[in-house]
Copies of this chain bind each other. A is one copy, B any other.
Amino acid sequence: MALIVQKYGGTSVGNIDRMRNVAKRALATRKQGHDVVLVVSAMSGETNRLLKLVNEIAKRPSERESDVVIATGEQVSVGLVSLAIQDQRGKARSFLGHQVRITTDSAFSKARIKSIDAEKVFEALKKGEIAVIAGFQGQDEDGNVTTLGRGGSDTTAVAIAAALKADSCEIYTDVDGVYTTDPNVCPKARKLDRISYEEMLELASLGAKVLQIRSVEFAMKYRVPLWVKSSFTDDPGTLVCAEDASMEDLVVSGIAYDKNEAKIAVRAVPDIPGVAAKIFGPLADANIVVDLIVQNVSKDGKTDLTFTVGRTDLTKATDIVKKVAKSVKAHGVETDDSVAKVSIVGVGMRNHSGVAAKMFQVLAKEGINVQMISTSEIKVSSVIEEKYVELAVRALHTAFGLDGAEAKKAARA
């Protein structure tokens, strides 16, 4: 008998019939003798409906009150899913964020989980009940309602699985697993049976929307085996787990892209200590996430500093950077909101040289100019013109042997 946490996203609980289906799946797992904990999102469309009300009533809605409104989406879901289970003669009990004591910091709208007191959940499981927990929400130490930001229900699920020391955490979604790349862009994309936390983390942070990045971080930290499955099929899905030797056979496991990128270049910045801090400090203070940063070799005591931010943050970031640029006597600030990032990811890279070089060759062959480069142990990212993204993804997918089952074998050689 295992303890299994199942998370169902907005599409999976999108209407009454789908909720009944979730109840059925949960009960089937229960009947196999397992303890079952569900984490559910708001019904699809509900969060947007609530956000619309919030933005209609206030020009600059306070995040505390927005969170109060938006957290109701998950509350409705847990009640209804519990009722669906009970209607199928199962036992169920719903839990809200504050009832499971999902304590977060006070960063409304993007709070981080600090602790979970799972005692009440264990009590429910002991009684044979399926615990149905509201995703996405928590409570700060002053008792305020907080939400974890988009995709936060994944994080709730993994955090709950970690707190309960669950045997596995299954993320049910509208896709049947993690793919080598976005099948909408590359028809030859393949579903992966397994992928390491590290790779998934890179893919998630690079814009693959299957799992929320923080949920993967949590899973990796607490070694929670994470399944990505479809709530509409019985496909076994993809297991996200700790790396093992066999995973390194494959140099590149997946290709990610992110169109939500904008580039800011600060020209001829005096190359003296502390200048970078002067630029990135105020951006951090404004909660703007800076992604790639590239600094050219200094020339005449001046250097060019180029970096990317989320496209929605571009205006705000540009305002801040222009002020700083003036104060540090840089020559000027240039921006470009039509860039995108393409990345190849794989733990196998660690033991293979020339992976980055191969990527640049592939892109060059397609006539795609690489504007910025960033590498990590298991990833190479290139910033390119947005219009080339799909072409780049397909070319890299083929070049790194990810196309179909046959191609996979060939790449191992």
Contacts and interface: CB of A to CB of B under 8 A. Distances in A.
Contacts of A16: 53, 56-57
Interface size for chain A: under 10, 10 to 19, 20 to 34, or 35 or more residues?
Answer: 35 or more
Contacts of A390: none
Contacts of A61: 83, 86-87
Interface stretch (A72-80, A354-362, A363-371, A375-383): A72-80
A86 B66 contact: no
A20 interface: yes
A143 B238 CA distance: 37
Given A58-B86, A80-B57, A143-B99, A94 B65 contact: yes
A94 B145 CA distance: 10
A221 to B, nearest CB: 29
A54 to B, nearest CB: 6
Nearest to A100: B143
Interface string A264-294: 0000000000000000000000000000000
Contact of A58 (B60, B83, B99, B144): B83
A126 interface: no
B71 A53 contact: no
A59 B20 CA distance: 13
A68 B62 contact: no
A78 B76 CA distance: 16
A202 to B, nearest CB: 37
A144 B93 CA distance: 10
A330 B20 CA distance: 47
A214 interface: no
B66 A79 contact: yes
Interface string A83-114: 11011000011101011000000000000000
B72 A58 contact: no
A75 B50 CA distance: 11
Given A69-B79, A72-B76, A75-B71, A57 B19 contact: yes
A82 interface: yes
Given A76-B53, A143-B99, A87 B66 contact: no
Contact of A54 (B58, B59, B72, B79): B79
A76 B79 CA distance: 16
What 3 A-B pairs come out closest when comparing CB atoms? A69-B79, A68-B79, A72-B72
26 contacts: A16-B53, A16-B56, A16-B57, A50-B76, A54-B79, A54-B80, A57-B84, A58-B83, A58-B84, A58-B86, A59-B87, A61-B87, A62-B86, A64-B94, A65-B80, A65-B82, A65-B92, A65-B94, A66-B79, A68-B75, A68-B82, A68-B96, A69-B83, A71-B75, A72-B76, A99-B144
